[in-house]
Amino acid sequence: MLARGGANVAGALLTGPVRDRLRQVVNATSSTTNRWSYGGNGSGTQPDPATVASDLAVVAGQLQTQVDSLVCDLNPAPAGSGATVRVRVYFTNTACAGSTTYPSGVGLPTGVKLPSGRFVDGSPRGGTGDNNLQQYSLPFVMVAEATQGTYRRNVVLQGEYRFPIGRSSFARYALFTNVHASRGGEDIWFTDRTLFDGPVHTNQYFRFYRNPWFGGEVTSAGCTSPGVSSCSGSITPGASFMSADGRSQNFIAESSMSPNASAPTYRGTQPAFTDGVSWRSSFVKLPDNDNRQREAANDRGLLFASNLYSLDLYATDSNGNLLTRNASGQWQPAATYQYIKACTSSSSSSCTEYRYTDGPSKVLYRKSGSSWVVVQNNFNGVIYVEGSIDRLRGPSRVPANSSNPDNAPPALAHFAEITIAARNDIRITRDLKYENPPCSSSPTRNPDGSVTRATCDNLDVNNILGIYAQGTSSDPGDILIGGGDASSGLLAPANIAIQGVLMSSRGIVGVENYNSISPAGDVNLLGGIIEYYYGAFGTFNSSTGTFSTGYGRKFTYDQRMLNGKAPPYFPTTELDEVGTPRVISFGQREQVY
């Protein structure tokens, strides 16, 4: 039982923590420009097997070191049992070299051999950021040994560690900046108000004050002057720190961080990196065009060739009525339709209404008089606007003067998967909420300084929204929470709720007129923000901590994005992302001594 339990522990590590280590190895070893992540740049429908084998041998070698650090000094035997359980996982012919338990390493069991890594299936890519998956396999051998007194037993299991690779989506970031400063050049500091529970990246470097908290991986490229497509300045891994009393600040290079680069402190400032930090990550280029989204909209989506006065999303029942809350706070009934309404002016005669229902083939209908006519089979969820969207909104709150976003009916039905892309600015003027949100709370700072993570226990839901502004050289394409004239419908409500991933390739995600509009509570975001510059949301009184203008930030990361979920045709990076690996067992042998 102890030996079998050790094998179970190793199996759980392969599908859990080892996946994170594999992602790091793949990012360091895979080709980002060839047609195949591993296997060269051949023109066939499969990569060259010999090249795949040699490429994956490098992966196996690097992964072996990572796995050894996880398992070789582990003893998962129950406390007080007097037993010892040792586990080894072989991706190469030698495991555990340099460990405390086996300083010289241990070779494969007698009679056991490891074949070469191989390509399983998948499609080649053109190197343009498409999201075709390729699946590769690394053979492995697992050995679990248990001893208790004079008894010994081992379990030897052989199998394949299969993993898919595809272009990673920008939706995976809780926060991404190309330049970690405002568009005007003002420094941006992470403070003890900062709570991010997903991956955070900048192509520049971060600034820390007091005790910001990060629940996901934190990475920075260290570029002193990030450009549109690459680092145009020097690369200096490190970060700026301000003392807790605010009297001094200093840029500290990674090599000079104290006590170490994984947990640096500076005169009372100590950021918490609960999922690790890297100060020398790769530069991640933002998209330089939105061709993929436009083509998708023209193919099986909706394409609008001019600016939109308004774009409305709302979920309804079978009679076209908005959903209402029951006594338990749940929306009822379950949505039958997803509505999309586009207007080119304030006149109702300029509006076109669409709807579709759930099902394997999402048939999109357009309203024509009192009838509905089919305009698209197998609707892909992409809405593209060749211009700007002046008012992007969900249903109004009930009652309309409420400052509580809970009173806004859902904008997205439980089955709706939508990406809204525009060439220029997008202004959000009302709540945009899911019928079935994946999370029910936000991360919070406790009185003792600790952080309670968000509650996200509904991660199987389908509704998802992406909002993407590409921008041009003359118009950066900002995504703005409305701060304009209320009578014209350009002012967002207090405590606005936005559930979706927001991305601006050339501009910011921020609040319009943030430094002049009255305080309006928080922006309650469930999703992530990707932007070129860091967008401002409001101003606050540094003495009292209260907001003077605009909004505060109350952000929750959508944990579904860590597992590869993304809005349809959402922009992808030029880096490879490892999907969920599969451990396939070919058989095992057991031996009792």
**Does residue 233 surpass a pLDDT of 80?**
yes
Asked if residue 279 lies in contact with residue 360, where contact means CB atoms within 8 angstroms, the answer is no
More confident residue, 31 or 489: 489
Q: Which two tokens stand for residue 47?
A: 């990569």
What is the pLDDT, as a whole number, of residue 586?
Answer: 86
127 pLDDT band (50/70/90 cuts)? very low
Nearest to 444 by CA among 431, 453, 435: 453
The tens digit of pLDDT for each residue in 463-516 reads: 999 999 999 988 999 999 999 999 999 999 999 999 999 999 999 999 999 999
List the chain domain ranges. 2-168+578-592, 291-309+381-570
Give the torsion through C-alpha atoms of 194, 200, 203, 204, to 10 deg.
Answer: 20
The tens digit of pLDDT for each residue in 145-177 reads: 999 998 999 999 999 999 998 888 999 999 999
**Does residue 21 surpass a pLDDT of 80?**
yes
More confident residue, 288 or 45: 288
Edge-first strand listing for the sheet containing 389-393 = 371-376, 364-368, 351-357, 337-343, 310-316, 389-393, 426-428, 479-481, 509-511
Q: Which two tokens stand for residue 206?
A: 């971060």
**Does residue 129 surpass a pLDDT of 60?**
no
CA distance 399 to 408: 9
Q: pTM for the complete prediction?
A: 0.82
**Does residue 592 surpass a pLDDT of 80?**
no
The total number of residues written for the chain in this structure: 593
What is the pLDDT, as a whole number, of residue 547?
Answer: 79
Least confident of 20-24, 55-59, 241-245, 290-294: 20-24
The tens digit of pLDDT for each residue in 425-456 reads: 999 999 999 999 999 999 999 999 999 999 99
